[in-house]
Amino acid sequence: MAGTVVVFDFDGTIIDCDSDYWVVDGLGATEIFERLLPTMPFNTLMDSMMKEIHEQGRSVEEVAHILKSAPLDPHITAVIKSAHALGCELRIVSDANSFFIETILQHHGILSFFSEIHTNPSYVDGEGRLRISPYHNFAESSHGCCSCPPNMCKSLILKRVRASAAADGKKRFIYLGDGKGDYCSSLQLTEHDFVMPRKRFPLSELISGNPLLLKAQVHEWTDGEEQARVLLRLINQCSSADDGSRHQPALDYVSLTALSDPNGFKKKYLS
């Protein structure tokens, strides 16, 4: 699997919610959020919300506590570990922010399995307030994509990821996502790649509505268990294509126990 790169979206793909809304609702700031939502770009809004929350006396530690309760299916935790153990390079491309993502992944013990996280940068300032910045500084210049929010075009990120992977000899990509912002990046995939949209979510609907624009093979999923089964099957398919093997293990019936033991999984299904 040395030639396979697996790229995950985060909100709605790794976790089963939107981390921004999860924090806002969890800290009781929904009313302020909804009032400000029509007035500014979403990324700017989240930075403003952290200011509002800080002025209400809520700490960064409270934000982290809320994040740690975000729903993450154990099948997804297990498949991330298994994919890494099988030799895949794992990356995240997300319009969330680094504090939210790293806090959640660290809590579940899977942060170290990702070689790179492409997201909006964030930091805690001298006053203890969480600051969230745009990935692309749209105040200085536009990224030039009319389909994506001003702070981030995932397509441009994936172009750079592909160029870097190609330099390292990586051949195939598997891209998992659910939102509208994942569609632009999916168009960067080739006929040798796979895209895994979440069923009945915006990415799936956009692909269904524009099937001729996408080159990658499409494999949908509904929940964490199905995501794990499909992803492992595709990883095996990539491996078989790379080494010429015709062996196709029955990955559709992998149990959570097998997924939680990546070495045992590799021995049982891919030997």
End-to-end CA distance of the chain: 13
Q: Which of 11, 18, 73, 193 is catalytic?
A: 11
Closest by Cα among 151, 205, 157 to 183? 205
CA–CA gap between residue 67 and residue 173 (Å, rounded):
29
Query: Between vectors from CA 176 to CA 106 and to CA 79, what angle results, nearest 5°?
Result: 50
- Ligand-binding annotation for 178, yes or no, is yes
Q: Which two tokens stand for residue 54?
A: 């800080």
Q: Which two tokens stand for residue 149?
A: 């929010």
CA–CA gap between residue 56 and residue 114 (Å, rounded):
34
- Tell me whether residue 9 is one of the annotated catalytic residues: yes
- Beta strand segments in 114-213, E: 116-120, 122-124, 130-132, 172-177, 194-197
Residue type, 7: V
- Ligand-binding annotation for 20, yes or no, is yes
Query: Residue 212 burial (CB < 10 Å; 0-12/13-18/19+)?
Result: exposed
- Ligand-binding annotation for 95, yes or no, is yes
**DSSP 8-state symbol, 17:** S
Q: Which two tokens stand for residue 197?
A: 């949209």
- Ligand-binding annotation for 18, yes or no, is no
Q: Which of 9, 18, 73, 182 is catalytic?
A: 9
CA–CA gap between residue 70 and residue 17 (Å, rounded):
7
Q: Which two tokens stand for residue 11?
A: 């909100």
Q: Which residues are annotated as a binding site for substrate?
A: 20, 95
> Which are the catalytic amino acids?
9, 11
Binding residues for Mg(2+): 9, 11, 178
The binding site consists of 9, 11, 20, 95, 178
